[in-house]
Structure 1
C-alpha cells in the first residue's frame, strides 16, 4: 500500500489479521538503493521476509522512501512518521476496536525497527537520538555514526508536561538492541555507549537465538534492556527476519508508564498460552463465553491456596487479558505475599460494557469458589482504563460481590443509582496519572459518592474535599515498605469516624495513561483490610498490625508447612 505523508511516500503493509488486539508497528530501514523508490521498497519488503511476518502477526509494516539517501534524513524521522500516521491505517479484516472508527490501534508500547547497511547506521543514530521510541531495534550490517544526541534531554514523548525535576538525558535511557556486524570491532563504540546507558557491566554471556550466536550484555536489574552482538555475514534473508522477530521483537515491550516508558520482558500470545504460570478457565454468561486466567501464588498448590481472598484485575480497552495479566505486577505480588488468588478476565472484542458483561463476575466467583475455595467475603475488584470504568460500574451495580474497589485511570463512568440509595459501604482506592488525558478530572464525582457511602465526613472547599492525611514517598511509600518508585505517589486519604482509611485518591507523578507495579502493592495494602460479612451492605475491617510483606510472608510460610 502506498501512503503519502508530509510530501513523501511510504510503503506500508496492513495485515489482514489485524483487528481487535493492539497492533505492532514494524519499521524497516532498507539499504539506500532499496529505499530510493516505492517499487524498490515493495520488492525489499517481500524479499526480506518482513511483509510475510507483518501479515502473520497482525502488524503494520512501514518502509520509508528516502530518494536522497539515509544521510539526508533527520534521526527523528521514524518518530515523526509514527506520530503522523499511527491513526490512519484502516482495518483490512473488517474488525476494529470499538470507538476506533474502522482504524487500527498502533500502540506506543509496540514499536520495533530493523535497519540494513546504511539504513542500519541511520537506525543506530535514531536509537541514540530517540532511545525511548523503540521497544527494540536490530541493526544489520551498520552501526551508529553519531552519539552526540545522547547529551540532549530526552524527548519524554509519552508525557508532554514533565515535572521540573525530570532531567533525564538520552544517554541515560535503557535500550534493547541487536547489532549484527562482520567484525566485532565495528561495534565496539556502540557497545560501550549503550552498555553505559543500560548500566551493563562485565564481559557478557554467549547465547544462541535460533542458529545465530550472540554476546549479550544485560542490564543488572534483570529486565529487558540489553545489547546483543553477533558477528558474521548477514543480509536481508527471510530466515534472519524471522529470528529477529521471534527472538527479539516478540520478547520485549516498552510500557507506557512514564515520560520515556519502561522496557520489560514480554511473552507472545503463543508463549503466554503455553506457560503454566496462568491457568485458563471460562464461564458462559448471556450466551457468550468469557475466558479468564487464574494465577495461584508461586510455591502454593491449589489445595494450599484454599481460603485465600480473590483479586480481579480487569484489562482496558483494546488490551486482551494475555497482554495485561503481567503488566501491573499483580502476579508478582501474589507470589511475594502468597496472600491472594489472581483472576484476569477477558472481554469480547477487548471492550467492557456493564449491561453486556457486568453479571459475569458472579459466575466467575462461583467457579473460583468451587475450584479453589476462595474467601467469598474478601473479593476485590480492580481494573485499568476501560477496566477501571468496569470496576466503578460493576462494583456499584453488584456491591454484594466485592469488599473493596480500586479503579485505575478510568474514563468517566456512572455509579449505579441503587448503590447510593441502598446504604452500601464500599472502600475505594482511586488512581489517575497527572498527565493522563483519559482520567484527569473524572475522580471528583466518584470521590463524592464514595465518601458518602463510607461515612467519611470530609469538608468540601473551593479546592475540593479536604483529606485527613496525605501519603507520599517520604511518609508511606518507602523502600522499607517494598516500594521502588514511591516518590511518584501522592495520596489523599479520607477516614471514617473510627479513623480507618476508607477512600483514597492517588495521583501518580509523570504518569500518562499507564501504571507501575508499585500501584498494585498500594492497592492491595488498602483493599486487604476489608471484608464483606455475609455479602451484606456493611464492610468490616480485617485486623492487620504488620506491614504487608512481613505479615503475608508469615502467612505464606504457614500455608507451605
Structure 2
C-alpha cells in the first residue's frame, strides 16, 4: 500500500513539474499589446523604470513584397537602454524551440538584456548573402523602440550552424551595428562575398567596410577553408597580432596597441578568437561563458563617421554608486562618482558636474557612453548623473526630462535641487563650481537648469540640443538675476542642422543667452577653427567669453567622450561663481 502511495505521489510530482515549465514551442506567440495610454497612466511613481511588456512576442518586418517574422524576448529583469542579443538559429528550428533549448532565455533573465531571434524563411537560411537585408530590417524594427527601449549601441549578433554563415555576412556588411559577433558551426561565406564587401565604403568614405572592426569569436569543431578565410578577414579588419595566445582549446588574437589614435573615443578592443568545439548540441553553460567573458565586455558607441568600440565597465566597474530620493511622491535616482582623493582629503572642497542623459536614455547607459567618471578622477571633481522619469511618447513611456515644466509630470528642477542638496549634505562641495551638461534632450535640460537655477550652477555646457519649445523662455521660475556662461556644441548634420543660419531654434537659443549675458550680437562674434570644430565666441564688454557655439564637421546627433574632456578643460574649469554670486573667468571678474 505504501509503495502504491509513493508511486502515485511521484506521478503527481512529475505531472506538476511538467505543467510548471513553459513550453514555448507548443504555444502561440502573441504580438505586443498596444495599450500605450493605459501603461502610461498606470506607471508606478515608486517603480517607474519597470518595463510594461515582458515575455516572448512576435513581430513582423517587410522586405520587398515578403513579410517575415522574428521573436522578441524581454525578460522581467530587463531595463530601459538594455543591451540586445540577436541570435540566428539553425535551419529547421523555430525561434521558440531555439529559445527554449539553447539556454539563452535563462542567460537573458540573469543579465537583463533583450533577446531577438530572426527566423529562417520556411525553415531554411539562404547562404548567398541575401538574408542581410532581412537582418537589417529586424534591427531597424527594434530600433523604433515602441514596445521596449534598447540601447542603440550595445547590440551583438550570434549564429548557429546555417545561421552562423548569415550572422557572419550580416556583421561584414553592417559592422557599425555590432559590438560583438559569435558563431557556432561551419562557416560558408564565399570569397566573392568578402571581396565585394572589401570594395564597399563604410560611413567614412576613406574606410572600407572590411576595415571596420568587430570583436569576433568563432566556435567550430574544424576550420574549413571558408572559416579560415573568414578568420583572416576579421584579423585584418580588427588589426590584431598574428601571434595568438592559447587558453585550453581557444586561440586568441589581440589587437595591436601601436596606434596614432588617442584612444579616448575609440579603443583597440576588437579581439578575434577561435575555439575548437563540437557545436552540434547546445551548451547553455558555454553560451553563458560567451556572454560573460566576451560579448558583455565591449560596447559600440556613436561616432562622427563610423561608430566607436570601447570597453564596457558599467556602474560597478566605474566605481559609481546609485542614490535614491522620493521627490514630490516620485522615486528619483542618480549615479555619482567621487574621486579617490576625497577619501584621503575629505575636507577639500570639490566641484560638481551634473550630467543629464538624452531622451529615452538612462544614467546607467551614460556611464560608459561619455566616461565622465574618468575626467572626475583625473581632474578631481564629483560627477552626478540623474535619471529622467518615463513620460508619454509614441509607444511605451520613455525616460525624459520635463523641460517645459508640464504640471502633470515630475518637476525636474525640484529634483535637481533636492539631488544637489543631498550631495552637499554628504560631501564638501565647492558651491562656486557646480556645472551642468547634457546631450540632446539632456542638453535642453541643462539649459533649463541654467535658466532656472543660475544661483546653483556656474555654467552650462552641452551637446546636440537647443531650446525648441519657446514656452521655456516664459516659465515663471526663470531666474534672470544672474549671468551664466553657456556653451552649446552641435553637429553639422545634427537635428535641425548645425549652423545658426540653418537652425532657427539654435539661433534663437544663442540670441537668448547673448542678451541675457550682455555680449556682442550674434553677427559680431569671433570665429576660430580647431580640427573639425568650428567655434563662435561671444564676449561681453570685459572681453569675457560668456556664450560659445560650436559646429562639428560631419557630426550628427551625438556626443563623444573627447567632448566631455573638452567641456571640462576648455570651459567649466575656467569659471567660478564667487560668494557674491558673480562670475569670475580665469581668476578675474567676468564683468
**TM-score, normalising length: structure 1:** 0.79
Residue 311 of structure 2 is matched in structure 1 by 265
Evaluate the alpha carbon distance shift between residue 86 and residue 280 of structure 1 in structure 2; reply closer, same or farther with a 3 A threshold. closer
2:147 to 81, 85, 103: 103
| Residue 26 (structure 1) aligns with | 85
Tell me which residue corresponds to 1:483: none
Q: Deviations over 1:350-396 (max 9, x none)?
A: 32214411122222222322322111011001111221111111210
1:332 equivalent to 2:387? Answer no
Aligned match of 2:456: 401
**In structure 2, what is the equivalent of residue 484 of structure 1?**
none
Matched ranges for 1:267-346 at <5 A? 267=313, 272=315, 274-275=316-317, 277-298=319-340, 301=343, 303=345, 306-338=348-380, 340-346=381-387
2:186 paired residue among 142, 148, 151: 142
In 2: Cα distance, 1:87 partner to 1:151 partner: 27
Unaligned runs of 5+ in 2: 1-28, 30-57, 258-262, 391-398, 406-410
1:108 Cα deviation after fit? 2.7
CA contact (8 A) 1:8 1:65 kept: no
1:242 to 278, 288, 298: 288
SS in structure 1 at match of 2:482? coil
Number of the residue aligned with 1:457: 520
Cα distance between partner residues in 2 of 1:327 and 1:408 = 13
1:173 Cα shift?
0.8
Q: Give the CA deviation at 1:259.
A: 2.8
Q: Which of 418, 422, 425 is equivalent to 1:370?
A: 425
Equivalence for 1:530: 575
Q: Of residues 351, 356, 362 in structure 1, which corresponds to 2:400?
A: 351
Distance 1:425 1:503 in 2: 11
How far residue 253 of structure 1 moved from its aligned partner, in angstroms, is 1.7
Question: Does residue 95 of structure 2 align to residue 49 of structure 1?
Answer: no
The answer to whether the Cα contact below 8 Å between 1:75 and 1:129 also exists between their aligned partners in 2 is no
Whether the aligned pair in 2 keeps the contact of 1:403 and 1:426 (CA below 8 Å) is yes
Distance 1:260 1:75, change over 3 A: farther
CA-CA distance at 1:126 after TM superposition:
2.4
Q: 1:203 aligns with which of 230, 243, 247?
A: 243
Name the CA distance, whole Å, in 2 between partners of 1:190 and 1:217: 16
Consecutive unaligned residues in structure 1, runs of 5 or more: 35-39, 89-99, 157-161, 474-487, 545-561
Partner Cα separation in structure 2 for residue 341 and residue 120 of structure 1? 46
CA apart distance, 1:87: 5.5
- Deviations along 1:40-73, one digit per CA (max 9) or x if unpaired, are 3321232122344445525141222233532244
* Superposition deviation, residue 140 in structure 1: 0.9
Structure 2 equivalent of residue 81 of structure 1? 137
Q: Give the alignment's TM-score, normalised by structure 2.
A: 0.76
Q: Mapping of 1:59-138 within 5 angstroms? A: 59-67=114-122, 68-74=124-130, 76-82=132-138, 84-86=140-142, 103-138=147-182
Alpha-carbon deviation of 1:257? 2.5
2-structure distance, mates of 1:188, 1:169 = 21
1:174 matched to 2:213: yes
Distance 1:231 1:520 in 2: 43
Alignment partner of 1:225 is 2:270: yes
With over 3 angstroms needed to count, the CA separation of the structure-2 counterparts of 1:33 and 1:79, relative to structure 1, is closer
Find the partner of 1:428 among 477, 480, 486.
486
Q: Which residue of 2 is the match for residue 384 of structure 1?
A: 439
Post-superposition shift, 1:409?
Answer: 1.5
Which one has the largest radius of gyration?
A: 2
* RMSD of equivalent CA atoms: 2.9
